[in-house]
A and B are shown apart, each in its own frame.
Chain A
Amino acid sequence: MVAIVDPDEDLVRRVGQGDPAAAQTLVARKLPRILALGQRMLGDAAEAEDVAQETMLKAWRQAPKWTPGKARFDTWLHRVALNLCYDRLRRRREIPTDSPPDRPDEGPAPDRGLLAAETGVRVDAALKRLPDRQREAVVLCHYQELSNIEAAALMEISVEALESVLSRGRRALRLALADMAPGASEGDGR
């Protein structure tokens, strides 16, 4: 088996030895990524914080016994965070709530002149409405910038299956945001 090159290897070793500067560096490097993953998977800021905190606490416990060369620490962190996200998504399905989605899709509004922040809100809402697996694929490949091999391994599917899930996810997003595409807004505005 080929040993995996891990850019975080030395950092994790120092964290395991109780080096406070290394812990600080690891938090600065990983917390934003894991928080963003939780936010986009769950669409809820408070839940994303909980997931990020729990993931990092598991990282502290794992660091002293981490075996280099078997996996990248970043991939392991994603695995832990995704498991926590799926636990919460499952719980949501088991306990249905009456509350409406965070922000309903307001539909075309070219005359309002959408600001970048509003575009972001629309994108987040469209992302939240995707089926879980499609959202996971888009989040891992587009936002977390994992390689197709890493994303497929995390999702426990083949690379071909990942490409199929990604295509469906992106197609659904394109349809949901069709009115915001550059050509569409110009056309609607005239």
Chain B
Amino acid sequence: MKAERLQTLAEAYGADLRRWPASDRAFAESLLAADPSLRAMLDEAAALDALLDASSAPTPSADLAARILAAAPKPRARRFRLDRIVWYLGAGWAAAACAGVVAGVGLTTHLTANERADAVLYQSTLVAVDDTEVLG
């Protein structure tokens, strides 16, 4: 970095190297360390910085902060939503219907088995019938 660049940066960003571009800062520091007379280039900028710092920043009033905070996002409340209730009811009815089908199928199978067993027993008791009548 040449002294001219140092001058340009001081005129733009002031004397405080923390305000300088990060890419120029380290090299400017080494340049100033090597040649302390270059610091004179920063004096004029430092005087203006001091004047600019005399401008005080306003303090936000409590009223302004309260007005802003009153409009801040609120925590999402757990509300009962109609669509969710309808969904839960529907799911309940569907589960009940499925249970009914399963029970019905099971019961039917059980009854059919009993009927068949009865039929076999009945046929085995038919002693009076000639086998040739039955079987031909």
Contacts and interface: CB of A to CB of B under 8 A. Distances in A.
A31 B13 contact: no
Given A60-B71, A123-B51, A142 B60 contact: no
Contact of B54 (A28, A120, A138, A171): A120
Interface stretch (A51-59, A72-80, A83-91, A93-101): A51-59
Interface in B27-67: 44-45, 47-49, 51-52, 54-61, 64-65, 67
Interface in B75-121: 75-76
A53 B64 contact: yes
B48 A170 contact: yes
Given A23-B73, A63-B73, A57 B68 contact: yes
Interface string A16-54: 111110011001100110011001100001001100110
A8 B97 CA distance: 53
B22 interface: yes
Contacts of B12: 162-164, 166-167, 170
A145 B51 contact: no
Interface residues of B, number: 36
Contacts of A17: 73, 75-76
B24 to A, nearest CB: 9
B9 to A, nearest CB: 8
Contacts of B61: 49
Nearest to B47: A181
A173 interface: yes
Interface residues of A, number: 55
A148 B65 CA distance: 30
A173 B58 contact: no
A11 interface: no
A18 B55 contact: no
A180 interface: yes
A159 B21 contact: yes
Contacts of A117: 56
17 contacts: A17-B76, A19-B75, A23-B72, A23-B73, A27-B68, A31-B65, A31-B68, A63-B73, A64-B73, A116-B54, A119-B54, A142-B49, A148-B21, A164-B12, A167-B11, A167-B12, A174-B48
Question: Closest 6 CB pairs between A and B?
Answer: A18-B75, A23-B72, A36-B57, A119-B54, A166-B12, A163-B12
Given A20-B72, A181-B47, 11 more contacts: A15-B73, A17-B76, A32-B58, A53-B68, A56-B68, A63-B73, A145-B19, A147-B21, A148-B21, A167-B12, A181-B48
Interface of B: 8-9, 11-14, 19-22, 44-45, 47-49, 51-52, 54-61, 64-65, 67-69, 71-76
